[in-house]
Amino acid sequence: MLRLREICGVLLVWHGPLGQEPWEIAEPVADGWRPIRTKKMRFHSHPQEVTENSVDIGHFGVLHGFADVRVIEPMTTEGPYLRARYGIRKPIPLFGGLSGQFHIRADGLGFSLVELALDGNWAFRQLVLTTPTGRRGVDAYVGTVLRKRGVSTLGRTAWAPVEAILERIVLGVVAAELRRDQRIWDHKKYLRRPAIAAGDGPIAAYRAWARQFYPKEEQQ
């Protein structure tokens, strides 16, 4: 039986072993959020690697230029669900920078939602949906939506055009940052038992969690 759900305006189809009962993805709270703006990207990668980015705290500063990265709530898992919360600051020349907290939510390897609360009462959501297209191919639908917090219903109408313009800019920035990751994905090589360094954070725990999404004969 085909299992189909609409979440955040996109259709999600269950893809799992025959006979396995699907697990659910909860709809994010829609309070005050407009429909998410999406962009399709294609990577030489794998859904597990794309989702791993969200817990690879070591690369936030080295590759993406974040500063003062700190763990607020360490990575936790329960069945197919993964959660974590971090604090970050993004230096911006001439403007000082932006700082805030972001909550990581991964439901399986195909649904990833980042909710970022920025200083200055701005809130941001980033959605990453990955579909494998081959042994080393991924179609990723990347979505962003931005809103001003603490605004009245009347003020929401006034802010909407500003939010829409900023969303386009932010989506372009997110796509550019993912292309930085692509340079690494293009040259990664699979190792069944790779060496993990002390600074790699929760990557080993993440990969252990991810094994549940593979057929049992591939988990050895």
Residue 74, pLDDT score: 94
* Sites in the chain below the pLDDT cut of 70: 1-2, 93-96, 217-220
Residue 195, pLDDT score: 84
Strands (E), the chain: 4-7, 10-13, 37-43, 67-78, 81-92, 96-107, 111-118, 122-134, 137-148
% of the chain surpassing 90 pLDDT: 35
Domains and CATH numbers, the chain: 34-190+200-215 (3.90.380.10)
Residue 120, pLDDT score: 74
What count of other Cβ atoms lies within 10 Å of the Cβ of residue 108?
22
Q: What are the φ and ψ backbone dihedral angles of 164, each rounded to 5 degrees?
A: -65, -40
Residue 94, pLDDT score: 55
